[in-house]
Structure 1
Amino acid sequence: MSTKRYPDELKARAVRMVLDHREEYPTQYAAIKAIAQRLDVGTESLRLWVKRADVDAGREPGVTSQEREEIKRLKRENAELKRANEILKSAASFFARELDPPRK
């Protein structure tokens, strides 16, 4: 299965077309299918783009793109802090051994 990367402009245009013309079709999926064919993009890709746009606009419940980016940033920061904490623990242990040698 190969994944095709679509330009952001094409994604935005396709989503706008679905949002502007979905009343002309019996279902939103029918609009997505017709517009996906017209623009030569995957139907499932367009469905996901429209869903993301609906969540971002507050028309559907879910985590917005902005919130998702913030969560990713916080997870990276958390992982970095955990690594730093482990390094500090190792350093503290090393220096404790060096400064307090075993007595005979």
Structure 2
Amino acid sequence: MLTVPKPYPKEFRDDVVNVARNREPGTHLKQVAADFGISESCLTNWMKAADVEAGVKPGNTAAQNADLAAARRRIRLLEQENEVLRRAAAYLSQANLPGK
């Protein structure tokens, strides 16, 4: 069974990004990532996300993504409720037809 690793705490991610941004010239991201026990691609993703959160790069922030996910869940629920009501109305209109 595949297990999903727990996400690193935000403070840890922020600290690693800060160290990566303030690294000494000649130090590669790969080395910074290895020092913290993460992959280079993970560090790169954290740095991109930090840039979006800071408004340096365009994109959705974590808060916007959470709002979007909540809105999608709400839309899905409303669509399901609408379908139930549509079917109930169709059933009840058939039951009230003359001759039945």
**What TM-score do you get using the length of structure 1 for normalisation?**
0.78
User: Which residue matches 1:7?
Assistant: 8
Q: Shift in Å at residue 2 of structure 1? A: 7.6
Cα offset, 1:17, TM superposition: 1.7
Identity %, equivalent residues: 28
| Larger helix proportion of the pair | 1
Match of 1:83 among 62, 80, 85: 80
State the Cα RMSD in Å.
Answer: 2.3
- Counterpart in 1 of 2:33? 36
Q: What is the correspondence of 1:41-80 to structure 2 with a 5 Å cutoff?
A: 41-80=38-77
Deviation of the 1:26 alpha carbon: 5.4
Show CA shifts across 1:31-75 (max 9, x none).
Answer: x32211111111111110111011011011111111111111111
Using the size of structure 2 for normalisation, the TM-score is: 0.81
**Could you list the runs of 4 or more consecutive aligned residues of structure 1 that deviate by over 2 angstroms after TM superposition?**
1-7, 24-27
The runs of 5 or more residues in structure 1 that have no matched partner are none
- The separation in 1 between residues aligned to 2:42 and 2:16, in whole angstroms, is 10
Gaps in structure 2 of 5+ consecutive residues: none
Equivalenced residue count is 98
